[in-house]
A and B are shown apart, each in its own frame.
Chain A
Amino acid sequence: MVIVVLAGAMMVFPFAWTLSTSLQTSDTLLQVPPQLIPPSPSLDAYRELTEVTPFGRMLLNSIIVTIVITTAQIITSALAGYGLARFEFKGRHALLLLYLATLMVPSQVTIVPLFVGMSRLGQLNTLHALILPMVASAFGVFLFRQYFAQMPAALEEAAALDGASPWRTFWSVALPYARPAVATFGILAFMASWNAFLWPLFVARDEAAMTLPVGLASLHGRFETDWNLVMAGSVVTIVPVIVVFVIVQKHISSGLLLGGVNK
């Protein structure tokens, strides 16, 4: 019990310290002894953040990129998962193997050619470059295929008897049924794209095209000693994801979490 509480405190403290630092002014930042409760808390660091970098633009980029990628991944994966679960066609097995094989290849292998491609197409520093390569997810296809494969057939059969096309049946029967899978996969996709660093580091080089993690890294390079500024940027990057996580965590099943490692 004591160990658990102690370990929990070790988890929470760095967050508290980060928040506290972000509320310090430059005068109190480096004082000894350090104060967990800032003597004169202020939002100066946050204001300065928006003045010295296009921080609002970065935040907006992150929001757009994350929403588009998450939505697109849910739709493409659910559709393909349904297609692979409910249709018999030549080459279905080979397709499944293809998806599985791509899961095994680390993303670093594809990143150099993708960068070369985007650079040749003149798409560096655009949102397209950040979004397009991420709209399909092999892991998502697997997750939805498993989910739809064990869905009882009666619901769809009723719809089919009423003359509904597979397309209509999918949207009105199958997808609503798969709400738990959508929630779990959605949160994983959301976190992965909000926190993504390696690919944006390659293609978002102008500050105006950066998402928060890359922006934060460049901020740190420029303002190494203004820790209140850097920590304010960290807070803005971390808070949305933790808020979303706390809200939806009850819907996430640990078994499905396993997939979260397949970035």
Chain B
Amino acid sequence: MTWLGSSQRWWIVFVGPSLLMLLAFTVIPIIAAAALSFFDWDLLTPPQFVGLGNFIELAGDEDFRAALIHTITFIFGYVPFVMAVGLGLALLLNERSRMAGVSRVVFFMPVVSAWVAVALMWRWMLNPRFGIINWALDLVGIDGPAWLFERGWAMVSVIAASVWKDAGFVMILFLAGLQTISKDYTEAARLDGANSWQVFRRVTFPLLSPAVLLVSIILLINSFQVFEQIWILTEGGPLGSTTVVVERIVTNAFSFGRMGYAAAMSWVLFAFIFAVTLLQTQLQDRWVHYGD
């Protein structure tokens, strides 16, 4: 139904509050961020117009480039890993609907918990001297590394904790995708003598490919914005080996008081996210199969 006549004008009453807030706290700030990126401003002295100065400085900023590389390293470790784990769990649970209810709660506990609390849990478990993980490794005769305090292992730890936290989320998305696949297809393939791997590779996966695309886009967008776990787990260390883009934005705005520079960085982050999302949707014709 559609409201007609004099009722028509009511739309302002309905959309107004949300629209006003959206304009004040999202649209105007987006425009302000664009303007801000052309200024140098520490909030204490008047803003200085610097033109493209911030972007030029950004192009030569070694710390920012390192943060970008670390972010991409995180993405390459985290995205395939969490997708594999999530898909594996979804495939296992799809056959066992009896366990679905309780699994949904168990695997979702990390998903719904605050990252700060989860990161602190892992920081405690990964403690080099008193952590339960190195104690367990010691039992089997392995001298565990210093994890978050050791170059290389720090990023591995961050990725592992992130996979642990998000596996249940990916699992739920894939379970929803799997439920749309009719059992007829997989059973037909089995009758033709296909083994489990062949059924998965030739039937299930192609039918699931739209879900895989969707999940990978969501994960990529989110992981470009990786921040909270880094902030708590490693604080960018050791020796700046796990700094990431959002951490740079926060540090520049927060600690260095460089608002314009931080705003410029946030635009570069947006550009990366936008470009990668676009690329993924462009490439989808090559491998995504929308059943017809």
Contact = CB atoms under 8 A, between A and B. Distances in A.
B21 A234 contact: no
* Majority secondary structure, B binding face: helix
Interface of A (DSSP majority class): helix
B116 A197 contact: yes
B22 A102 contact: yes
Given A216-B117, A231-B121, A138 B26 contact: yes
A217 B116 contact: yes
Contact of A102 (B10, B30, B108, B214): B30
A213 B229 CA distance: 12
Interface in A1-60: 1, 3-4, 7-8, 10-12, 14-15, 17-18, 21, 29-30, 32-34
A64 interface: no
Contact of B32 (A87, A113, A194): A113
Interface stretch (B124-132, B146-154, B184-192): B124-132
B7 A166 contact: yes
Nearest to B246: A108
- Interface residues of B toward A: which range? 35 or more
Interface string B78-115: 00000000001100110010010001111111101111
A112 B2 contact: no
Interface of A: 1, 3-4, 7-8, 10-12, 14-15, 17-18, 21, 29-30, 32-34, 75-77, 79-80, 82-84, 86-89, 92, 95, 98-99, 102, 104-117, 119-120, 132-136, 138, 141, 153, 156-157, 160, 165-167, 170, 191, 194-195, 197-198, 201-202, 212-214, 216-217, 220, 227, 230-231, 233-234, 237-238, 241-242, 245-246, 249, 254-255, 257-258, 260-261
29 contacts: A3-B92, A7-B107, A12-B106, A14-B122, A17-B121, A17-B125, A84-B15, A87-B10, A105-B26, A108-B225, A109-B33, A136-B26, A157-B1, A166-B7, A195-B112, A197-B116, A201-B254, A202-B250, A202-B253, A213-B115, A213-B117, A214-B116, A217-B232, A227-B130, A230-B120, A233-B120, A234-B117, A242-B112, A254-B173
Interface of B: 1-3, 7-8, 10-11, 13-15, 17-19, 21-22, 25-30, 32-33, 36, 41, 43, 88-89, 92-93, 96, 99, 103-110, 112-118, 120-125, 127, 130, 132, 135, 164, 167-169, 172-173, 175-176, 214, 218, 221-222, 224-225, 227-228, 231-232, 246, 249-250, 253-254, 259, 262-263, 266-267, 269-270, 273-274
